[in-house]
Amino acid sequence: MTETALALTREIYDEIIYQGYNGQDKEICGVLAGTYGPTQSVVSDIQQIENVAETPQTQYAMNPEAQLEATQSLEANGHEVIGFYHTHPTGPPRPSETDAARATWPGYSYAICAFDGYPFIGSWRWTEEGFQHESLRMIQDTNNWDLIVLLHTVRTISLDSPHQQRVFWTRPYVSCEISRQ
Ligand SMILES: [Zn+2]
């Protein structure tokens, strides 16, 4: 399996967290736009979409008309949709079974912000084998130097059957890496 990453700026990372706080006990959701890459996709814009799920406390369903409108306007600005984001007001910090049942876009990134502890955003690519965790790479331009913060999670996966996957996650640890572009 190829290791993949989702790169985004600090501003976008914080914006997802702010939107999540504003949603209070309900999940908020939206579209990630930018540049798709088979190993790294870069987010350059996000667009929140109304959550029209019947039980928004534990599920999300994007208003289809608003989603179409947002997609068209993002594409008109030269972006492409590279994935989606939503929140888990009470956790867990990983995709739920509902998320896996509803994921339909192979190669797309699914970012999830969990609020059951310190707000944590993780990202997963949807593949034929299910959700594959990917690195979150934070890009910040500081006088021609890019500060890249990598958030890692440690995982243990046990496969009981091809259709049943149990994944255990720990909270992330943070490492920094500075590179010149
Ligand atoms: Zn979810």
| Residue 146 Cα to ligand 1 middle (Å) | 31
The CATH homologous superfamily to which domain 5-139 belongs is Cytidine Deaminase, domain 2 (3.40.140.10)
d(CA 101, CA 97) in angstroms, rounded, equals 6
At 77-106, the pLDDT tens digits run 999 999 999 999 999 999 999 999 888 888
Low-confidence ranges of the chain (pLDDT < 50): 142-149, 152-181
Question: Which amino acid does the sequence have at 45?
Answer: D
∠ CA 96-19-176, nearest 5°, is 80
| Residue 96 Cα to ligand 1 middle (Å) | 5
| Residue 90 Cα to ligand 1 middle (Å) | 10
For residue 162, cis peptide bond before it (omega within 30 degrees of 0): no
